[in-house]
A and B are shown apart, each in its own frame.
Chain A
């Protein structure tokens, strides 16, 4: 069974940090572009970052560049998102998603990040 399982979310104070993880199984993780996509409560989808299969290319949305870092470990079939300097507007469900290209045919169920004092 193809699965993406996110973890690491939680309640954090403004300015704090979290590391999100995504464990992949049931498919050839190393052959997929992987992305993080977030969804604020009651709002639409926002792509955050993606990373090429061989780690040679990373892309970010402007609002997180310099604060968020995407990484992967193909040996562990895992994707990560280090999020620093958190702001209230970063509150969202963070989805791990992937595809051979940049459309996203695999999705996890998400992990909730809440930024509040």
Chain B
């Protein structure tokens, strides 16, 4: 099974500042034949289901603000919120979909400082 590890567990960022979340997989999720990384990011607000933000490591889902961006390849990935807004307070999860069992990171809670 591919283990996905996120860091930090939580972070507090001032409004308008950058938030960076890291995600590491225990093996590469890059599929060489199509050169795609099978890594997604989700946002979950309290009392709500998760919402897809990013897939293929860096492709933003339709309707997701461009302050959210994903980067990285292979085993190391980053979700960046370029200018934190109040509505971005949530828990963020990365997920590998390279192989089953599909696995999620443990989550990163983002709060306002």
Contacts and interface: CB of A to CB of B under 8 A. Distances in A.
B53 to A, nearest CB: 10
B100 A45 contact: no
Interface string B3-46: 00000000000000000000000000000000000101010100
Interface residues of B, number: 24
A9 interface: no
Contact of A44 (B1, B38, B51, B104): B104
Nearest to A59: B100
Contact of A102 (B49, B61, B93, B97): B97
B37 to A, nearest CB: 11
A23 to B, nearest CB: 15
B96 to A, nearest CB: 9
A46 interface: yes
B49 A108 contact: yes
